[in-house]
């Protein structure tokens, strides 16, 4: 009977002394999905991963894999395998012996073991490396051996603890794509821990953003990026253009907001009921803001008057640092589409307006997001 959920986590808590590294987290991870735990260091993502793997015992809560309760099961009895952050390759064994390490407990037998090792090394494109030792390999190669070793056991769920951290930028990006393809073709559930939001977005189907032991938002990758649920998630995903306002009126899915920075905008809101006069905050991502010379509110386009403070050239784009009348600093990302010799309309110290498509405004509710 195939369960829809590969991993079910219920109110899992891990306390070290008084501090809750993981605080009553509940998650359902679907079979065959690429799921990421994203957050800054210390947010509890690695501790959570280790509890799923069986390397930490929870203080409270339960953990089910494929329907079976594994909360107290030791790692060697769970149908899960882990790729460790620093790979944990056995230095005294060859690549082949490393990969074959766990096959002994599956009763595969000599010939079967050798076959499986060859199979899985081919999968990670390391055929022919059987007799090498870990210290003879590059970082990227070691990472692939660690992957092969875990996959050799055909686990239901593969856990990956920031496995790309030690790789250089270019290699990282290549491996991200390769891992994604691998996961798709194998159909195994991947649970991936990272602090790099770009990485999570590249590879994941769904993302859980964690902060201080709690999940602030769990959603499809695009949703987390475009529609952050909490202030923390907004900051973390780089959507830190905050606007403070008061509701003038809200009806039929639209709200008229009086900005602290001056002026009024109309943005779509979800079904939440807003009181007149209620204070709200919303964010607009920097790449969704446009710098304009004129106020376009008359045309129904939200516009806010700003002073230009700085301009930073970043190759692909230019970042404009501006300040609105409420003294909030805003960032505007502008694609460098025009020939760069052409002078810009805008100059540091000058005045302008930031405008955006109303649908890009996301209202932020308080600190913690939905569970």
Contact positions toward another protein, by CB under 8 A?
A: 16, 50, 53-57, 74-76, 80-82, 84-92, 101-102, 104-106, 133-135, 142, 149-150, 153, 166
The least distance separating another protein from the CB of residue 263, rounded to whole angstroms, comes to 52
C-beta of 100 vs 218, nearer to another protein? 100
Contacts of 171 (CB under 8 A, 6+ apart): 139, 140
Q: Is the dihedral of CA 225, 40, 34, 137 positive or negative?
A: positive
Report the run of H or E that residue 122 belongs to, with start and end.
helix 110-123
Tally of helices (H runs) and strands (E runs) in the chain: 8, 20
Please, what is the minimum distance in Å from the beta carbon of residue 266 to another protein? 51
Kind plus residue range of the DSSP H or E element containing 83: strand 80-83
Min separation Cβ 135 and another protein, Å: 4
**What residues contact 350, with CB distance under 8 A and at least 6 apart?**
307, 308
The distance of closest approach from Cβ of residue 75 to another protein in the complex, given in angstroms and rounded to an integer, is: 4
Query: Of 53 and 228, which has the nearer Cβ to another protein?
Result: 53
Residue 168 or 220: the one with the smaller Cβ distance to another protein is: 168
Q: Which of 40, 64, 46, 48 is nearest to 13 (CA)?
A: 48
CA proximity to 22, closest of 161, 193, 218, 212: 212
Question: CA-to-CA distance for 129 and 155, rounded, in angstroms?
Answer: 23
For 271, counting Cβ atoms within 10 Å of its Cβ (0-12 exposed, 13-18 middle, 19+ buried), the class is exposed
Name which of 137 and 289 has its Cβ closer to another protein: 137
How far is 126 from 151, CA to CA, in rounded Å? 14
Give 84 or 242: the residue with its C-beta nearer to another protein.
Answer: 84
Give the angle subtended at the CA of 148 by the CAs of 184 and 202, to the nearest 5°.
Answer: 40
CB of 49 to another protein, least distance (A): 12
Nearer to another protein, 16 or 340 (CB): 16
Contact 320, 367 (CB under 8 A): no
For the record, the structure tokens of 38 come out as: 């994203």
Nearest residue (CB) to another protein, 91 versus 298 = 91
């Amino acid at each position: 009977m195939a369960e829809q959920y590969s991993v079910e986590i219920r109110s899992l808590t891990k306390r070290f002394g008084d501090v809750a590294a993981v605080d009553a987290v509940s998650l359902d991870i679907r079979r065959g999905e690429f799921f990421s735990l994203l957050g800054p260091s210390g947010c509890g993502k690695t501790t959570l991963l280790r509890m799923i793997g069986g390397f930490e015992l929870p203080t409270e809560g339960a953990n089910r894999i494929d329907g079976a309760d594994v909360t107290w099961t030791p790692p060697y009895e769970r149908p899960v395998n882990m790729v460790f952050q620093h790979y944990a390759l056995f230095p005294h064994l060859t690549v082949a012996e490393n990969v074959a390490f766990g096959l002994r407990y599956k009763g595969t037998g000599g010939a079967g073991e050798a076959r499986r090792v060859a199979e899985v090394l081919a999968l990670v494109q390391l055929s022919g490396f059987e007799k090498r030792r870990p210290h003879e390999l590059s970082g990227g190669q070691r990472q692939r051996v660690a992957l092969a070793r875990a996959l050799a056991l055909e686990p239901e769920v593969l856990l990956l603890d920031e496995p790309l951290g030690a790789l250089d930028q270019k290699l990282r990006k290549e491996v991200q794509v390769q891992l994604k393809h691998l996961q798709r073709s194998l159909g195994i559930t991947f649970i991936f821990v990272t602090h790099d939001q770009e990485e999570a977005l590249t590879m994941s189907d769904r993302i859980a953003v964690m902060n201080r032991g709690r999940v602030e938002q769990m959603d499809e990758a695009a949703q987390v990026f475009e529609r952050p649920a909490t202030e923390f998630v907004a900051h973390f995903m780089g959507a830190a253009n905050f606007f403070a306002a008061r509701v003038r009126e809200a009806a039929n899915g639209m709200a008229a907001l009086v900005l602290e920075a001056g002026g009024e905008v109309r943005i779509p809101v979800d079904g939440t009921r807003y009181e007149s006069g209620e204070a709200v905050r919303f964010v607009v991502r920097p790449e969704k803001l446009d710098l304009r010379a004129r106020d376009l509110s008359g045309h129904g386009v939200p516009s806010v008057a700003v002073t230009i403070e700085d301009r930073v050239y970043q190759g692909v784009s230019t970042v404009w640092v501006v300040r609105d009348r409420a003294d909030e600093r805003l960032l505007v990302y502008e694609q460098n589409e025009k020939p760069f010799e052409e002078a810009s309309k805008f100059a540091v110290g000058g005045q302008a307006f930031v405008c955006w498509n109303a649908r890009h405004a996301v209202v932020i509710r308080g600190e913690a997001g939905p569970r």
